[in-house]
Chains A and B, each alone.
Chain A
């Protein structure tokens, strides 16, 4: 059997083209990351948030449960939730259709104290961490979800809370809850 021929250029030719492409892509990646750090994308919130004071009346008029979103500017998971949940067209539409959404922004770290209505709501629902979602139904106890894992799990929880709210609303003799 004749010996196999040695490939042209030897068996250890440096991968010049691949190295060049890798270097160009790496440089582009660094530029994009630096740009992202310097110009962070602001999530476009698509949820129609209602003022705290108007939520009770709106809930009574529309028979929708109130969804309180307790968050803070410094809270990383809150920003993630805003980006993945409140900026997503499908999720935002579902939230607007199902709830009277109210965002409750904690400013105690920045301003030293919160506005009275924010402090009152945080005290009423014993808010100790952010983000916390509270679904307040016309009747029955509020449902509380503390923390954020991902959009799908949170939407599932919200769908269950809304369904339970409708069941309670249909029941004739349930205890009432203050929104």
Chain B
């Protein structure tokens, strides 16, 4: 972990006008829904993944295509430090934004006497923060594979494959195909539902193991891919 890299990444992300416009619309639009239709509760809010996706898109690929990465790695920064710092940076930003969104929505609902219990709001904030950390790990791995915004292309392709497999599984009544599609979906959008813990005290062990497996696997593979890359001022990638 490298504090300078984390702060530099945060600065880089917030100085992109397109990113900020997308981020603002994804942050405030659901709050408007909550404001004008309090009956819907916290439902219109995003789960943290969308906000993180906007922040994390091109997290490493953009550095590769712009040539910044060669300069960063010219300093004695280990590649694992670089990967982990980039992931941590967007995860923290995404998690904080998603949690802040839930908090604001809950306060708005509280003012209109339509707020769910604080336990539900805290559970939602926790789940959103976890979703941000998980989603950022997936995007970080994809971003090491292709330059620029290639990570979004991989994510889109994998999502199409998942939907296609799910449809085929339902069509031919093959449970293992739909289960594989569900696992692929769990890999692409890692999350831990905290509702069962909050409602009945049931700990979703499978979801926890799946989430931790996805995050560690993505980060480990991202570091391995980065270690194998050769960067020079003359190379194109």
Partners in one complex: yes
Report A's interface with B, CB cutoff 8 A: 4-7, 10-15, 18-19, 21-22, 25-26, 28-29, 32-33, 36-37, 76, 88-90, 152
Q: Is B75 a contact partner of A14 (Cβ separation < 8 A)?
A: no
Do A29 and B209 form a contact, CB below 8 Å, given A37-B179, A89-B200?
yes
Distance, CA A28 to CA B227, complexed state (A): 27
Size category of the B interface is 20 to 34
Distance, CA A14 to CA B225, complexed state (A): 10
Q: Is A90 a contact partner of B220 (Cβ separation < 8 A)?
A: no
- Contact partner of B76 (CB less than 8 A), chosen from A11, A22, A152, is A11
Q: Is B206 a contact partner of A36 (Cβ separation < 8 A)?
A: yes
Q: Is B175 a contact partner of A37 (Cβ separation < 8 A)?
A: yes
B79 surroundings in chain A (CB, below 8 A) = 11-12
In chain B, residues 198-237, which have Cβ atoms closer than 8 Å to a Cβ of chain A? 199-200, 205-206, 209-210, 212-213, 216-217, 219-221, 223-224, 227
Q: Is B78 a contact partner of A22 (Cβ separation < 8 A)?
A: no
Distance, CA A21 to CA B199, complexed state (A): 31
Q: Is B210 a contact partner of A29 (Cβ separation < 8 A)?
A: yes
In chain B, residues 11-66, which have Cβ atoms closer than 8 Å to a Cβ of chain A? 41, 43
Distance, CA A36 to CA B223, complexed state (A): 32
Distance, CA A28 to CA B209, complexed state (A): 7
A5 surroundings in chain B (CB, below 8 A) = 76
10 A-B pairs with the lowest CB-CB distances in the bound complex, closest first:
A25-B213, A22-B216, A22-B217, A12-B227, A29-B213, A18-B220, A22-B220, A15-B223, A4-B76, A11-B78
Q: Is A90 a contact partner of B224 (Cβ separation < 8 A)?
A: no
Q: Is A18 a contact partner of B206 (Cβ separation < 8 A)?
A: no
Distance, CA A53 to CA B56, complexed state (A): 59
Q: Is B220 a contact partner of A15 (Cβ separation < 8 A)?
A: yes
Do A152 and B43 form a contact, CB below 8 Å, given A14-B227, A28-B209, A29-B210?
yes
Do A21 and B76 form a contact, CB below 8 Å, given A14-B227, A37-B176, A76-B170?
no
Q: Is B224 a contact partner of A33 (Cβ separation < 8 A)?
A: no
- Measured between C-beta atoms, what is the minimum distance from A130 to chain B in Å? 14
Distance, CA A159 to CA B220, complexed state (A): 49
Task: Beyond A7-B76, A14-B224, list 20 extra A-B contacts (CB 8 Å).
Answer: A5-B76, A6-B76, A7-B78, A14-B227, A15-B224, A22-B213, A22-B217, A22-B220, A22-B221, A26-B213, A29-B210, A32-B205, A32-B210, A33-B179, A33-B183, A36-B206, A76-B170, A88-B199, A89-B200, A90-B199
Verify if B168 is at the interface (C-beta below 8 Å from A).
Answer: no
Chain A residue nearest to B78 (CB atoms) is A11
Distance, CA A76 to CA B175, complexed state (A): 11
- Measured between C-beta atoms, what is the minimum distance from A172 to chain B in Å? 30
22 contacts between A and B (CB under 8 A): A4-B75, A5-B76, A7-B78, A11-B76, A11-B77, A13-B78, A14-B224, A14-B227, A15-B219, A15-B220, A15-B224, A18-B219, A22-B216, A22-B221, A25-B212, A26-B213, A29-B206, A32-B205, A32-B209, A76-B170, A88-B199, A89-B199
Chain B residue nearest to A17 (CB atoms) is B220
Distance, CA A4 to CA B43, complexed state (A): 51
Type the 1/0 row for B181-206, where 1 means its CB is closer than 8 Å to any CB of A. Answer: 00100000000000000011000011
B77 surroundings in chain A (CB, below 8 A) = 11
B73 surroundings in chain A (CB, below 8 A) = 11
Distance, CA A14 to CA B228, complexed state (A): 10
Do A18 and B200 form a contact, CB below 8 Å, given A29-B210, A36-B206?
no
Distance, CA A13 to CA B183, complexed state (A): 31
Distance, CA A10 to CA B210, complexed state (A): 32
Chain A residue nearest to B82 (CB atoms) is A11
Chain B residue nearest to A88 (CB atoms) is B199
B205 surroundings in chain A (CB, below 8 A) = 32
Distance, CA A5 to CA B76, complexed state (A): 7
Distance, CA A6 to CA B75, complexed state (A): 9
